Chain A
Amino acid sequence: MKSIANLSPDLSSDYLSPEMSRRRFLGVSGMLVLGACLPVRGALAQAKAAAAFEPNLFLAIDGDGTVRVTAHRSEMGQGIRTALAQVVADELDADWSRVEVIQAEGDEKYGNQNTDGSVSILLNYDRLRATGASARLMLRQAAASRWDVDVESVSAVNHEVIHAATGRRLDYGELAADAAQLPVPEDAPRKNEAEHRYIGKPVVHVDAGDIARGQGVFGADYRLPNMATAVVVRCPWLGGGVKAIANQPKGEPGLISIETLPPAPSAGPVFAPLGGVAVVAEDTWTAIRIARGLQIEWTDSPNRSFDSEALCRSLREAVMQPGTPVPGSGKGDVDAAFAEGGTEVSAVYETAFLAHAPMEPPVAVADVSESGCVVHAPLQDPQSARGLIAGYLGMDPGSVAVTPTLLGGAFGRKSKPDFALEAVELSKRLKRPVRVQWLREDDIRHDFYHAAAAQHHRAVLDDDGKPKAWLQRSAFPSITTVFAAQASAPAPFELEQGFSNLPYAVENQRMESAGLRPGVRIGWLRSVCNVFHGFSANVFADEMAAAVGRDPIEHRLAMIPASGKLQQPGMPAPEGHELDFGRLREVIKRVRKLAEWDRPRPEGVGLGFAVHQSFRSYVATVLEASMANGRPRVSNAYVALDCGTYVNPDTCVAQMEGAVAFGLSLALYGDIGMKDGAVVQSNFHDYPILRIAEAPTTQVELVPAQGRLPAGVGEPGVPPVAPALVNALHAATGTRHRSLPIRA
């Protein structure tokens, strides 16, 4: 069972010691890479002939000079396959047009593969630079010995080793076999920033061409010979099982079988399938048509009475009562400061349950045989999925091969492999390959939902509008509720997401939290608890500024210490990743300039500002908004991002653009409700996603890398969006929206 500690990337051992993981991987030579890795395109194709030169798991160079970089993280649109290859190819000084990316299976030998928490570059930057640099030195050594010259007299540039004195040159491919005979050097010299040719440069994603031609292979596109397709009808409420099927279909052309799957056990294994009735057919439409016609009677479960409105009411009530103090968080005397009086600001903020709704609904292909199990699916963590599948089948993990396809969006949904386990179970029963295809309705109704939440903020201000005392309370059903039958309280890793680590100087401060058990599965969604914590803290700060008539950005800068780093309660951040007040102030100042914050906007158009540090990155966002035909309209978005060292600036920009759209979707529409245990919404007509006419123009400014540690890019853009919108609408209209989605 996956332990809670593994949930947060901040707690992973790889994160705590990137140096250690680097050493673990360098110098692993002669490892047979290719048996384990297949190219994503036509992934079933035969493994290629062994490479001439494989200095480690992540790099192989063929005799024809083809450089193959193994991507061990999953691609879901964040450009990671490209970025990992950029890093290796840069230090190798490879010709980009001769670089190929191979997708790795899930295997412990790669280290952390959990593509989650915006840590792929952070965890791998150093070790992949070392991989490229070692190989490059070895190629130089091979050429020097072939020519019988000093290694210092040869250079490796753009896929060739060159001896300048004599003009001799050899292609990397011609040297690969010789280089393979050399020991892997411990400390090969790396380039300095000025020498980088791919790192820090915009590079088009390696899958862009396939995607634009309809050739990218997503989970839904993977095919095996003799594959059947299953559509599963699941109980509307969590924990219910099949009592009876009133209309057992028989003799339908294309129908293979109707399989009853038991409901998920209430305690472990994690991510167990929900159970239900699987319609297995020769083709997808037959499965869908028959599944839609089934009349199933379900057994009861305690979750059948679950009602999201009642839960939200309880959350609202919970934040009006004293909660559990966040360990180590208290400061000064909040009650005394409140008793002293002054301008007081107090508000309750509420946010709804959300579904991930990746564009590709969950889907998985499994082929279980006596000798083993093969799975191809859009999985964020093929390694933990492999472990879970092996456990489920009682097989040795060595007999289970799990390869990620391209992920058609994920946002956290596809780190939970319940859908792959369904395919495994059905393939085992039917003794043939089975693809399980979730319908959009299944996706919306049977997700691991982003938690609904409530926060209460109360502060008393000095004449400048700075809080003399600040009481914060947060209540939400914790992610830990899916892992432990008794859990309900928010975990420290959830509170450290924009609640217990607010960057404001306050003398008297109290933080409390409360949790409730929900009747649905809770899961992490892009930016996790930063979504609601970043929302309430940023709107409340705006309310403080408004209460004393100050400019929101001036007021915010006044609340943030001029320099230094945050001493946060709970687990201190590793060195180099503490919240740095100077960096936070820098993104605020940059976005103020980018948005031309002081330029007057027309009547009815307002600017709203928010800033949030998460996943070790700093993002400040300004939105320009107005009301049009009774609905909020966002015309422009401005984003300043400091993510430390970055690999592909165009990807960083794209992730901020995407984060604005994701944030606006949840701010304007994101609302999942449950009644009688069942999710009310079902598809994009009642769970809308932002459409093109509503998408603003987004300008992004990237803070230069300055040699800082790499930080997250995929998630940190989301949290400031919703509060910036609420603050902009307040500036535009004077109306303050305190709950999401905005019901204007």
Chain B
Amino acid sequence: MVYELNVNGNGQSVDVSPDTPLLWVLRDHIGLTGTKYGCGGGYCGACTVHVDGSAVRSCQLPVADLEGKSISTIESLEARHPELVGTWVADNVAQCGYCQAGQLMSAAALLDANPAPTDQDIDAAMTGNICRCGTYARIRAAIHDAASQRNAGGASE
């Protein structure tokens, strides 16, 4: 089946079986490998992307449900959330880095909905993202840093 998708603002046409999860469409058919496979079961968040602005697990979304929706991935995050990518680097958040695309996408969706999250807000929004390396404290700090940078410069954006 051929599906017309909108990924990071670009039209993409893919020919795959209807049950193919978005995760594998992105990785194998569109060549966007920033979105990771961690569990395939919706448990770990490594595959998190945005669909119409919400953070979702791409391993759980069959391609057939996605026509006409706006999909964005880690590869386009910096354009929308430069502060987040910047603090993630400056705070040296990543260890192995494999979970971090998913962490960043969940963090971005959180900041879109809540520009000044508390620790509790962060814990609630990020609970679906496992980091086996244990970078959680830095994730919290980087989200706070990005939020304050964004709020300080927000008026001009």
**Chain A residues in contact with chain B, CB under 8 A?**
75-79, 202, 204-205, 207-209, 211-218, 220-221, 223, 229, 253-254, 283-286, 288-289, 357-361, 406-411, 437, 439-440, 650, 654, 657-662, 665, 683-685, 689-693, 695-698
Cβ-defined contact, B134 with A658, below 8 A: yes
Q: Which listed residue (B100, B123, B124, B132) contacts A212, Cβ 8 A?
A: B100
Cβ-defined contact, A214 with B35, below 8 A: yes
Return chain B residues, CB-CB under 8 Å to A77. Answer: 94-97, 133
Within the complex, the shortest CB–CB distance from A660 to chain B, in Å, comes to 7
CA gap between A650 and B138 in the complex, in Å: 12
B155: Cβ under 8 A from any A Cβ: no
Return chain A residues, CB-CB under 8 Å to B21. Answer: 285
Given A214-B101, A693-B124: A358 and B43 within 8 A (CB)? no
Return chain B residues, CB-CB under 8 Å to A202. Answer: 92
Return chain B residues, CB-CB under 8 Å to A660. Answer: 134
Return chain B residues, CB-CB under 8 Å to A439. Answer: 40
Return chain B residues, CB-CB under 8 Å to A408. Answer: 36, 96-98
B85: Cβ under 8 A from any A Cβ: yes
Within the complex, the shortest CB–CB distance from B99 to chain A, in Å, comes to 5
Return chain A residues, CB-CB under 8 Å to B100. Answer: 211-212
Within the complex, the shortest CB–CB distance from A692 to chain B, in Å, comes to 4
Return chain B residues, CB-CB under 8 Å to A216. Answer: 97
Cβ-defined contact, A204 with B122, below 8 A: no
CA gap between A78 and B34 in the complex, in Å: 21
The residue among A75, A209, A221, A284 with the most chain B CB atoms within 10 A of its own CB is A284
Cβ-defined contact, A359 with B89, below 8 A: no
CA gap between A410 and B35 in the complex, in Å: 19
CA gap between A218 and B97 in the complex, in Å: 9
Cβ-defined contact, B94 with A693, below 8 A: no
Return chain B residues, CB-CB under 8 Å to A253. Answer: 17
Cβ-defined contact, B95 with A658, below 8 A: yes
The residue among B16, B39, B95, B99 with the most chain A CB atoms within 10 A of its own CB is B95
Contacts A/B (CB < 8 Å), 27 sampled: A204-B89, A205-B94, A211-B101, A212-B93, A212-B94, A214-B101, A218-B98, A220-B27, A223-B31, A284-B27, A285-B19, A285-B24, A360-B38, A361-B38, A408-B98, A409-B132, A437-B37, A654-B138, A657-B138, A658-B95, A659-B134, A662-B133, A683-B40, A689-B132, A690-B136, A692-B129, A697-B137
Return chain A residues, CB-CB under 8 Å to B20. Answer: 285
Return chain B residues, CB-CB under 8 Å to A358. Answer: 96, 98, 132
CA gap between A689 and B129 in the complex, in Å: 10
Q: Which single residue of chain A is at the shortest CB-CB distance from B28?
A: A283
Cβ-defined contact, A406 with B96, below 8 A: yes
CA gap between A665 and B96 in the complex, in Å: 17
Q: Which of B97-145 contact A (CB under 8 A)?
A: 97-101, 104, 122-124, 126-127, 129-140
Q: Which of B7-39 contact A (CB under 8 A)?
A: 16-17, 19-21, 24, 27-29, 31-39
The residue among A406, A654, A665, A690 with the most chain B CB atoms within 10 A of its own CB is A654
Q: Which listed residue (B31, B46, B123) contacts A359, Cβ 8 A?
A: B46
Q: Which listed residue (B89, B98, B130) contacts A360, Cβ 8 A?
A: B98
CA gap between A408 and B100 in the complex, in Å: 10
Q: Which listed residue (B40, B133, B135) contacts A288, Cβ 8 A?
A: B40
The residue among A211, A229, A361, A697 with the most chain B CB atoms within 10 A of its own CB is A211
Within the complex, the shortest CB–CB distance from A355 to chain B, in Å, comes to 11
Within the complex, the shortest CB–CB distance from B76 to chain A, in Å, comes to 9
CA gap between A285 and B18 in the complex, in Å: 11
CA gap between A272 and B134 in the complex, in Å: 31
Given A214-B75, A693-B124: A650 and B34 within 8 A (CB)? no
B90: Cβ under 8 A from any A Cβ: yes
Within the complex, the shortest CB–CB distance from A384 to chain B, in Å, comes to 21
Within the complex, the shortest CB–CB distance from B33 to chain A, in Å, comes to 4
Return chain A residues, CB-CB under 8 Å to B64. Answer: none
B65: Cβ under 8 A from any A Cβ: no
Given A220-B36, A659-B134, A692-B140: A685 and B94 within 8 A (CB)? no
B77: Cβ under 8 A from any A Cβ: yes
Cβ-defined contact, A359 with B132, below 8 A: yes
Given A211-B94, A693-B124: A286 and B17 within 8 A (CB)? yes
B67: Cβ under 8 A from any A Cβ: no
Within the complex, the shortest CB–CB distance from A715 to chain B, in Å, comes to 13
Q: Which listed residue (A76, A212, A229, A685) contacts B89, Cβ 8 A?
A: A212
Return chain B residues, CB-CB under 8 Å to A229. Answer: 28
Q: Which single residue of chain B is at the shortest CB-CB distance from A658?
A: B134
Cβ-defined contact, B37 with A220, below 8 A: yes
The residue among A253, A285, A689 with the most chain B CB atoms within 10 A of its own CB is A285
Return chain B residues, CB-CB under 8 Å to A215. Answer: 34, 75
B41: Cβ under 8 A from any A Cβ: yes
Cβ-defined contact, B130 with A359, below 8 A: yes
Q: Which listed residue (A220, A659, A691) contacts B130, Cβ 8 A?
A: A691
Q: Which single residue of chain B is at the shortest CB-CB distance from A219?
A: B98
Cβ-defined contact, B95 with A78, below 8 A: yes
Within the complex, the shortest CB–CB distance from B55 to chain A, in Å, comes to 14
Return chain A residues, CB-CB under 8 Å to B77. Answer: 213-214
Return chain B residues, CB-CB under 8 Å to A659. Answer: 134
Cβ-defined contact, A689 with B28, below 8 A: no
B5: Cβ under 8 A from any A Cβ: no
CA gap between A254 and B14 in the complex, in Å: 14
Cβ-defined contact, A654 with B92, below 8 A: yes
Within the complex, the shortest CB–CB distance from A571 to chain B, in Å, comes to 32
Return chain B residues, CB-CB under 8 Å to A217. Answer: 33
Given A358-B96, A359-B44: A695 and B134 within 8 A (CB)? yes
